[in-house]
Amino acid sequence: MRSEDLVRIAAGRPLSRGLGRSYGDSSLPAAGDREVVSTVLADRILSFDQDTGVLRAEAGLSLDDIYRLFLPRGWFVPVTPGTKFVTLGGMVAADVHGKNHHQAGCFGAHVTDIKLRVADGRVVNCSPSVERELFRATIGGMGLTGHIIQVGFKMVRVPSPWIWQESERVPNIEAFIAGLKAASADWPMTAGWIDCLSSGPKMGRGILLKSRWAIPDEAPRRFPRPKRRFTIPFDFPQFVLGPLSIRAFNTLFYWKHLRRKQQRIVHPESTFYPLDMLWHWNRMYGRRGLTQHQCVLPNEAGAGAARRFLEVLVARGGASFLCVIKDCGPEGVGMLSFPRPGISIALDIAVRKDTPALIDALNECVVKEGGRIYLAKDAFTRAEHFRAMDPRIEEFQRVRRIWDPEGKLRSAQSVRLLGDRA
């Protein structure tokens, strides 16, 4: 249900949904519910303070709009996820993180206040100092504490709209993790792509990307032209992203990076939102689509954890077209936020008959290593695995029960993972 007036249409509805870019069922209605609230029409900016950088807006404002309106003026969001087709409400609900997590933390760390319509119809303001518990549960709370109506957060000044990037070819997973850790002190943004089909000594080889905002002297004077968008017109047949093509792509991508180290100025959209240029890119995965699996393996699990995880993936033949690795910084304010200090690995997985079994195997490894998964990407995890990964659920559920004693708010995901009644 769409409307400009979120408070009105939230009445009696179990969940709000933004632009629908989460990979799983977190923004879908539970089996018994018919409709969720769509926030996309409630996209007004309420205020912007040039001195403090605080932007306040309705929940449906898109990151695409923020990028288009503010980057030319030298302002940007403090944390950006990998697509700009997300809403402010969604960024709070998933407590998104980005390439700068090791320095800037999650998006929630920069949120100053949230206006929330809670289950009994009241509109409540919460912030780090007012209704702090509700605030902490809402950040990363997947919309389960109430309908997010408005959000205030601190933008950051950037020296230019361009990115200075250094990329490096890395021979294996051990070198990769060492490279990420070494880069984290000097570079505000780091992440890497790994070829998760190679095994043995080459396992986890890939390209490590380190970047920062370019300073005006080294960047072009003009604003980066909006990137052309290509549309994937229809669902591709399934063999297009089969194991063979993925192997070919991965090998090519790795060796395309001829020199071991490259430095250059890159377009901000290429850095942050490479897949936004392929409209409907999910259609490449065919009619059955794709899922993601993203986990963080804590530092305590030791340097071998990432290799053990990849071994499970390779042993199961879980070819992944895109595999992104990143080191995470400290845990944030969000009660149920995903990141914690360690190595995060995100996989794109084409959905096949054996996908649930693959996810189970990956999750068993995550449980064993003491890690956890990212709810915004999950569609297949079983409740017992999730509970084993995340002892914080108890506290989250306690806060939910205070604000929603009758259990009015729920999603397909919360029924699946948190045991909400359908």
Partner 1 sequence: MKKVVVLGATKGMGRAMARRLAERGDALFLLGRDAGDLAMSARDIEVRAARAEGSIGIAPCDLERPQDFASALDVADATLGGFDTVVVTAGLFATQDKLEAEPDLARRLLTADFANTVVFCEEARRRLLARGGGTLCVFSSVAGERGRKPVVIYGAAKAGLTRYLEGLDHRFHDKGLRVICVKPGFVRTGMTAALKPPPFSGEPDAVARDVVRAIDRGQPVVYAPGIWRLIMLVIRMLPRFVMRKIGF
Provide the binding-site residues for partner 1, judged by CB under 8 A: 1-5, 9, 41, 44-48, 65, 69, 73
- Least separation, in Å, of the C-beta of 233 and partner 1? 15
The full length of the chain comes to: 422
- Least separation, in Å, of the C-beta of 47 and partner 1? 7
- Least separation, in Å, of the C-beta of 234 and partner 1? 15
Residue 75 contacts residue 89 (beta carbons within 8 Å):
no
- Least separation, in Å, of the C-beta of 46 and partner 1? 6
Residue 10 contacts residue 121 (beta carbons within 8 Å):
no
- Least separation, in Å, of the C-beta of 55 and partner 1? 8
Please say which residue, 5 or 354, places its beta carbon nearer to partner 1: 5
Please say which residue, 11 or 46, places its beta carbon nearer to partner 1: 46
Please say which residue, 150 or 291, places its beta carbon nearer to partner 1: 150
Please say which residue, 59 or 189, places its beta carbon nearer to partner 1: 59
Please say which residue, 45 or 219, places its beta carbon nearer to partner 1: 45
- Least separation, in Å, of the C-beta of 216 and partner 1? 20
- Residue 247 per-residue DSSP state: H
- Least separation, in Å, of the C-beta of 11 and partner 1? 14
Please say which residue, 33 or 65, places its beta carbon nearer to partner 1: 65
Please say which residue, 1 or 275, places its beta carbon nearer to partner 1: 1
What is the residue type of 422? A
Instruction: State the Cα–Cα distance between residues 189 and 329, nearest whole angstrom.
Output: 12
- Least separation, in Å, of the C-beta of 88 and partner 1? 13
Instruction: State the Cα–Cα distance between residues 227 and 268, nearest whole angstrom.
Output: 10
Q: What are phi and psi for residue 108, nearest 5 degrees?
A: -60, -25
Residue 315 contacts residue 360 (beta carbons within 8 Å):
no
Q: Which helix (H) or strand (E) segment is 264 a member of?
A: strand 261-266
Please say which residue, 65 or 331, places its beta carbon nearer to partner 1: 65
Instruction: State the Cα–Cα distance between residues 415 and 151, nearest whole angstrom.
Output: 26
Residue 170 contacts residue 163 (beta carbons within 8 Å):
no
Please say which residue, 46 or 275, places its beta carbon nearer to partner 1: 46
Tally the C-alpha atoms within 13 A of residue 84's C-alpha that lie toward its C-beta: 22
Instruction: State the Cα–Cα distance between residues 178 and 338, nearest whole angstrom.
Output: 22
Neighbours of 326 (CB within 10 A): 25
Residue linked to tokens 């229809």? 234
Instruction: State the Cα–Cα distance between residues 326 and 336, nearest whole angstrom.
Output: 19
Q: CA–CA distance from 281 to each of 130, 201, 234, 328, 329 (Å)?
A: 41, 32, 10, 27, 30
Residue 232 contacts residue 279 (beta carbons within 8 Å):
yes
Instruction: State the Cα–Cα distance between residues 293 and 376, nearest whole angstrom.
Output: 10
- Least separation, in Å, of the C-beta of 149 and partner 1? 12
